[in-house]
Copies of this chain bind each other. A is one copy, B any other.
Amino acid sequence: MARTRSEQAVWRREQLLNAALTVFADKGVDGATVKDVAQAAGVTPGLLYRYFDSKEAMVETLLSERGFLPRLRELRAEPNDPRPATEVLTELLESFDRLLVDHAELMALFFSAGQARAPLAALVSEGHRLIGGFLAERVDAGELRAHDTATAARTLFATVAVNRRLGTPIDIAALVGLLFPGEG
């Protein structure tokens, strides 16, 4: 297991971030102490400061490196996907929902923030763009009836996200069927 110096450094950094994410999600950023994080990582508090400038820097690193905006951006419907719109949309939303599940602790971090931390806004607008773009495409193609795609995007996004956060995930197929009955 001979690890080079720099491998070790990378590994330790990840380990600390993992510990921080777990602890922050569990106790909240304010409720967790640096000592808590260190203990969860099996090191001493001092070591954290070799890797991060401050506790707040850890939060920000978590938000930017572990944020799922990149992965959200990867999510997209194939252009000219031959499948019906509702099918593609359902898949899209389910992927999104799965993203939220995979990053449950981060969601908590987002919501627990006193004043909504900036990354949240980016996340939301990217989600709107993703869904809204797809809907507009299909309306243009004449597959979906003309409708307020912006409002629809916000509706779908909000509904999936909030219900996941509340621990009462919604039936996505039912949601899609509700907005686009008998369509696509």
- How many angstroms from the CA of A114 to the CA of B31 in the assembled complex? 8
How many chain-A residues does the 8 Å CB contact rule pick out? 37
Question: A178 contacts B148, CB within 8 Å?
Answer: yes
- A residues 22-40 with Cβ under 8 Å of B? 26-28, 30-31
Residue on B nearest A177 in the bound complex, by CB: B148
Please give, as numbers and ranges, the residues of chain B lying within 8 Å of A147 by CB-CB distance: 178, 181
The stretch among A60-68, A89-97, A154-162 that forms the contact with chain B is: A154-162
Q: Which residue of B lies closest to A125 (CB)?
A: B168
0 or 1 for each of A74-110: is its CB under 8 Å from B? (1 = yes): 0000000000000000000000000000000000100
Asked whether, in the complex, the Cβ of A170 is within 8 Å of the Cβ of B154, the reply is: yes
A105 to chain B, nearest CB (A): 11
Fill in one digit per residue for A28-55: 1 if any B CB lies within 8 Å of its CB, else 0: 1011000000000000000000000000
This chain's copy number in the assembly: 4
Chain B residues, CB < 8 A from A113: 28, 112
A57 within 8 A of B: no
Once the chains bind, are B114 and A114 in contact (CB under 8 Å)? no
Q: Are A174 and B159 in contact (CB under 8 A)?
A: no
Is A6 in contact with chain B by the CB < 8 A criterion?
Answer: no
Q: Pick the residue among B111, B116, B120, B152 that contacts A178 (CB under 8 A).
A: B152
Asked if A179 lies at the interface with its beta carbon under 8 angstroms from chain B, I say yes
Q: Which 6 A-B pairs have the closest CB atoms?
A: A30-B30, A28-B114, A158-B162, A151-B174, A158-B159, A155-B159
A30-B30, A121-B166 known, 11 other contacts, Cβ within 8 Å: A26-B115, A28-B114, A112-B113, A145-B181, A148-B177, A151-B171, A151-B174, A151-B178, A155-B159, A155-B175, A158-B163
